[in-house]
Structure formats: structure tokens, C-alpha cells
Chain A
Amino acid sequence: MRVLFTCQAAVPHLYPVVPLAWACRAAGHEVRIASGSRVGGHIADAGLPAVEITATPQWTDEERKETQATIYGQGPWPQNWGLDLGALGPERQAYLRFIAGRLIRGAAAMVPELAEFAADWRPDLLVYDAISFAGPVVAARLGIPGIRYLFGTVAMPRIELDACGEPLPEYVRLFGDHGLPVCLAPAAAVDVTPPSLRLMSEVDTLAMRYIPYNGPGVVPEWVGVPAGRPRVCVTWGHTAGAALGGQAGHPFRQAIDALAGLDVELVVVTTAEQIELLGALPPGTRTAASVPLQLILPHCDLLVQQGGDGTTLTGAALGLPQLGISRKPDAEVAPGRLAGAGAGIHLRYQELRDDPARADVLRGAVERLLTDPAYRQAAQRLRTEIENQPAPAELVPVLADLAETPVALEVGS
């Protein structure tokens, strides 16, 4: 069969689906990954055939700034907020509506090119990340099953629906502009989160084992040499630097400075540009630019991270206790769930920022995570839970069956 994958043009959306795409290919199926130009090189780096979608929404500078300011200007949100959207106040509901509007506009720009490619290549199945709404539109247009994959997120509710579960008018329009009734039900949803981190379950969910893919790379030589003291990996993903510039590094710079006094080896892993944002680091700090986390974490004792979905799941898949320092609503849920599972501690930057004792708070958290064996045991349980999920290879026959199931056109409201 032919499987077309599509995702947001950002690596956190691409990476979680790479093992499934390769599983399809290794089973003899053809795959293509279609996404925006920004991520084309990353698709190719994963060894997968990329299809470049050149059209992008034309954001003005003001709109861009507004998006970032809105996302990073949020105070702390309630624990597990995605469970009950109705309980969120009007401001927070407006926030979700704002994000949904941006995503739907992005999807509208992408639909024509994606539809054109798909009409020519004729996929049997379209697999799209949970917030790439061009996916369901093009699947509906071709009359093929759409598979929604949750990109490791435990946080993102069906943001295209309102608190009562009704589609937003702009989501209905996204389909209507192409003469289609709105389609709300994918043929299935693929979820890579382990049960104890999962916040909610959608109907027809296919659980999948999370296989860490964090970009290409080679194993650094130093990982094989024991540090002689606990090794603490500090990372904050790929995207914050681009979104926030210089201030993206602040929470991590503060964490690094706080931890420098402990008897640990600090390893800072992120992109070269983001390492640069940190400035001069305390002596003895190791940096690893663009080395995939999965190659470093097996040699570490603790992961300090930003609450990113892929980062959290990679740490969990490798059985590491984690300290999550979040600063935006969608990044709060994963570390919150980790803490709930006993495998980590969750701190909010919005609270740390103004706390004069923050260095002590950070040091205390790290010391507890390193010395209390309960955290490591919980992290190992989480790892086992992940390993007990069906591997991507086991999902391929399920997808092949779905590809042969006729699609019933659903008439939406």
C-alpha cells in the first residue's frame, strides 16, 4: 500500500512518527512524508522520502509576535487541564481558540498542494499529526481513511472542537471551502504515550510503543567513559530558541548555574544555536550539539527538560528520572503526568522565575531525584510499560486492514 504522512513543519511533530513510517517501508509499503520546507531536510535526514509543501500561511510580523507572546505569556494552568475544557475560564478558552485559529489557517494554506500531490500519488492511507488539519481534509477529499497520530502529546485536546465537542466554525469552513462536509472521526488514532502518562483516550485508539527517534547522529565517544559521579543531562528541545530568541535559555541557564555546585557531571544537549544562547557555561559542563538524546541518555542518571513531548517520552523510554521545567500550557501536562507516575518532579518556570530561593529549589529537586531510589524505580516501571506496548511494526498490518476498509462519508454538523 501507499501511505502518505503529513505533519506540522517542526521536528517535535515529525520525529514521533518516523519509526512508524519506517515500519511501513520495512514491511514493503511505499511512504512519503509531506510537510513544509522548514522540515524537509529533517525528513530526509531520517532517511525518509520527503515531499515539500511550499505554501505557508502569510503571517505578518505582528501576528507572529502575537502568537509567541500569547503562548509564552501564559501563567501556570491547572493540573491536567485538557481533561475538562469546560472548567477552564473564558480567557483560557479564548487562548485555545486562538491557537486553533492559527493552526486552521496554517492548514488552509497547505491543503491545495497536499491535495495536488495526493491526487497524483494516490495514497491508500493518510496519516497526519493531531494538529495538522490539512490531513483530514485531504483524506476526505480522496475518500481514503485518515489516521490521526498523537505526536507524543498528553496535553493536546481536540483543539478543533469547542468545549462542548462541536467543531469550530473555521474548522467547518476548512472542509466547506473544498466542498466537503466536516469530518470529525479519523479511522483510528495512534497514541505513543504509555497508559500511565496518557491523559485521555480517544475512541479507536491504537496504542503504539514509543521508539525514540530524536534526529540523526553518531554516538559520541565520551559516553562510554564513566563520569565517576552522577551524569545529569540538561536539554530543552528544538523549538524554544526559534520562538523566544535569547530569553529561551533563561530557565536552563538558571538550572545549570544552580546545579553547577553539585557533585554531578552536567551535559547540555540541544542545537548548536541554542547552546550559543546560553553564553559561557560553568567549568566542567559538557555540551553536545545536535546529538540525539537517545544516544546520550542511556549513559545519564537524570534528565532535566522543558516538558516537550518527545523529550519526556525519550527519557521515559530509557527509564530515566526527570525534572521538567515548563513555561507554557501544553508543556505543563507531560511533566505533571511524570510526577504523578512518581518518575519525576515538575517545576513551573513562571513560579521559579520570581522565587529568590529558586537555586535551592532546583538543587533540592535534583538531589532528591538522584538519591531517592523510588524515582528510578518508577522510571523503570514506565520504561517497562512503554516496552509492553505494540511496536510500530505490529501496527502495520492493522493500518493495512484499515486501508482496505471502505470509508463512510460522515456528514458533520
Chain B
Amino acid sequence: MRSIVSYVKSSTFLRETGITLLSITLAFGVGCIILWAGGYSIPAVFANLWKGAFGNKLAIGQTLTKATPIILTSLSFLVAFRSGLFNIGAEGQMYIGAIATAVVASRLHLPAVLHAIVALAAGGLAGAFWGWIPGYLKAKRGVNEFVTTMMLSYVAIGLTDYLVAPRGPLHDPRYMANQTARIDLTAMLPRIMKPTQVSWAIVVAGIMVILVWYYLFRTPSGYELRSVGQSPSAAEYGGVRIKRKLIFALSLAGLLAGLAGAGEVLGTHFRFVDGFSPGYGWDGIAGGLIARAHPVGAIFAALLMGALRAGGMQVQRSGAAPGDIAAVLQGLVIFFIIAPTLVRMLFRWRRRRAE
């Protein structure tokens, strides 16, 4: 028993995981207080939250479908974060990626598999371009990337809305809705858990987790990127060309977010639908923070977020409470997770009382 305790204490990984789990518990505790104050039945809410997220095959499918783009947007946030930058514009980069993918997947005609790969690449590159702009402005003009990535998100959402609205150049004239034409069969990512919407997009997301992990921790370039985030002056002294690294980091972040949009088009909706994202880009910020900026952690963080989204819908349907309690829980988790000192303090206080 004692050896386990000392192992937990000595292992950074376990300690970080412990703090994360404790933060989540604390957040759910405060969530209970809010539900109680609102006069809602706490057991009913949590039963429905669980049922909607993991209750049966359809529920699990919902959770995984929603987790898929969030894995990628979380990676997008954390790659930039590792270089010391804040990419809070994943939402816009995702929209730009999605529209580029939809164009390539419906206007270009290629053989199966190849078509999907080309369409994915188009989405990634378009997203990368949308990330490159704030990266360039940051490196060359010293413009705060926090504001620009956010502003460019609004621009991206407005721009894509214009393109697919009636009278817009990419609008599908057969429908009233703001959307593009359906993509070619050859470009679709096959569904892998019928009848749910889980598709090969989740495999793409998984591959990106491995690639990002390998890049950050096993390549010289990734090491340099992290060193810029930890100490720019030391990195510069060590010969890293900081400006190029910053531009690269935000472009890579944009690429990952663009892939999230591409996956939604090729695997979920089979066309670009205006407003297709309920906020997967913003969820990525939360996901990257919950993952403590570790690529593998992004999988678990995205699953948590996907489960909250899927479960929240079931809470809403059941009438136990407004489904947005899930969004409140998400916010609370973030709030506790970003103050590890607080969680550690509470933890120590409990132990001191126990002794």
C-alpha cells in the first residue's frame, strides 16, 4: 500500500491524471449544487446523462461521433499551446477546411479512396492557410494571435455562410437550406458502426493523435516547437528560428482543425451544411486544456466532451433539466482543471484533516 502511495507521488503522469480526475469530480459536485438550487432531480439528470452518452449502442455512437471532431480541434489547440500560442480560432479553421473539402469532394471526380484522401488533404490545407494568417501576423508584425484567431473565426463563419446561401456560388439549388451539393460516393468515409454515424473519420483522428505525439516528442522539430513554448530566449540561443516556428505551429493547428471539418463533411453530413458545428472548435479549447496539452490525453478529453454533448441531448429530451447543464459542467471542469494549485490545496486539506 505504502509503495503504491509513493509511486503515485513520484509519477508525474499519475499525479497529473489524479488532479484531472479530482477536478472533474469537483466540477460535477458544483454541478449538483446548481441543479439542486434550480430544483431539479440530481439522480434523474445524471441517469439521463449516462443513458444518452453510454446507455446503448446508439448512445455510444453519438458520443463517438461528437468526440471525433473534438479530438482534432483539441490537438489543434494543444499544438499551438505547446509553442506558447493560443489558437482559439479552431472553429473558423474548421469551417474553412469543411468548405474546401466539400468543393473537392463534389466538383472533382476521382476514384474511390484517392478521392477521400485528396478531399481530406484539401480540408487540412485550407485550415492550415487560415491558421497561417494569424501565425504570419504574430511573427512578422507582433499582432496578438489571441484576438486575430478569434476575429478570423467570425470571418470564416460569415464567408462560408455567404458561399452556401441562396445566390451564393456553392449553394445547392435543389434545396432552400444553406448547404452545398451532396459529395460524390467516392469521397465518402465509410460508416463503421451502423446504424450510427461513426465513420472512418474517427480513425483519421486517431492517426493524427499518433502523428502529433510522434512529432512533438520524437522529432527535433517538435522538440524545438516545445522549447519555443517553454523559453523563447533559450530556444533562440539554441539556434531555433522562432518566427518560423510560430508560423508553423499555427499553420499546423489550422491543419488539424481543418481536418476536423473535413471529417464532418466526408463522414457525417456528406455535404457542407451551414452551422454544422455546435461549437466543436470551442470544445477543442476545453479539450486541449483538460488533456493538459498531451495528444493522448486529447482522446479522453474529447470523449468526455462528446459524452457530455450526447448526454446533454438526452437530459433535454427527458425533461429532467435543460440539456445545457452539460455545457455548465464542461465550463466547471475547465475552471478547476486550470488551477491545479487549488485542487492540490483542497487535497492536502482533506489529508491533513484525516490525520
Q: Do A and B come from one complex?
A: no
